[in-house]
Structure 1
């Protein structure tokens, strides 16, 4: 069974969908959730599902402390599910092609530093796009520039607010992210 570690900074709705998906799978399971936010609701979800929660700060992320904690777990896959900090190259290099992220837009558009959550959805609306979507990609040393694993689009012509766009994008995330992770594990085990 493959060990999955999730990184999240907020509510953890994607994290919970992934946890629930893998509770029914024989391929892998979520063994820990790492967060840089000690008040993140994702920690409540971890506790509810009896999954180890690991809280760290930005210094610990970059000074090797988080890498040491990951090394103790030996994950097969690291999934960034709403994690807002830049992921250290040291960890990426230690886990080559085993760190993936989901982005709430069709990259390469609307990616990069500062492009997350409602910032992305507002930019998409401001530019009068008729579609947006999700991109699941490998993590490299630059924001949102890793090789694509999966993309799915959705029509947003009927959306008036960034919240409308967010709802449609989140539906895609919840439907496809766990499935893509399972396929990734199946192809790489």
Structure 2
């Protein structure tokens, strides 16, 4: 357990742009979040997030089935990298792969993801990105939003830590609804990570 006053170490997993990773890193650097970004893993060697992480001075690695065809080997490689970076909490920032049992076990209760709907509505296997917003519009829901939840072995089944709501307006398209949801995601994730920071501080020895 970390001593009181030592910033929590964050690691990110991203497949594309890594917007949550960027938002949280900016909050860390500005002092708005008592944590320090240490590492990023991407399954996409050409991802913007990977290039960004390297430019920001984070430990960064491309780890995917291209280099580790056996899922168990990939799971072990990701865990080794994250542990080597000293990561305490993992944030999935648009990571489009399921985590393996080794990573989930080692970081149980400390892996966060954000889903672009009001879970449990419109969650589950195959529900991600534009598919979620399309489902919201097709259902006629009067509101949507985003949910930050702990990641477990079940897809989108972990406990919710924070939830934000936005109205579904008459005439909304996929793009307008998505923009409205995305506008609240960064601060929602920040709120959830602050909650973990506060819980960690309350349990840390003096």
TM-score by length of 1: 0.93
Query: Which one of 73, 97, 107 corresponds to residue 119 of structure 2?
Result: 107
Q: Equivalent residue for 2:40?
A: 33
Paired residue secondary structure (1:110)? coil
Report the secondary structure of 1:171's partner residue. Answer: helix
Task: State the SS of the aligned residue for 2:98.
Answer: coil
Q: Does 1:167 align with 2:179?
A: yes
Q: Structure 1: any 5+ residue segments left out of the alignment? A: none
Match of 2:3 in 1: none
Please tell me whether residue 18 in structure 1 is matched to residue 24 in structure 2.
Answer: yes
- Distance, in Å, in 1 between the alignment partners of 2:177 and 2:72 is 33
SS across alignment from 2:191: helix
- Counterpart Cα distance in 2 of 1:105 and 1:10: 20
Larger Rg belongs to = 2
Provide structure 2 residue ranges, at least 5 long, that are not aligned to the other structure.
1-6, 202-206
TM-aligned CA deviation for residue 159 of structure 1: 5.1
Alignment of 1:68 with 2:75, yes or no, is: no
* Worse-superposed segment, 56-65 or 96-105: 56-65
Q: Distance between the aligned counterparts of 1:175 and 1:95, measured in 2?
A: 23
Aligned pairs (5 A) from 1:1-189: 1-25=7-31, 27-58=34-65, 59=68, 62-63=72-73, 64-158=76-170, 160-189=172-201
Separation in 2, partners of 1:39, 1:117: 20
Q: In structure 2, the residue corresponding to 1:17 is in which secondary structure?
A: helix
Distance 1:180 1:149 in 2: 6
Query: Residue 154 and residue 101 in structure 1: after superposition, are their counterparts in 2 closer, same or farther (change >3 A)?
Result: same
CA distance in structure 2 between the aligned counterparts of 1:139 and 1:162, rounded to whole angstroms: 26
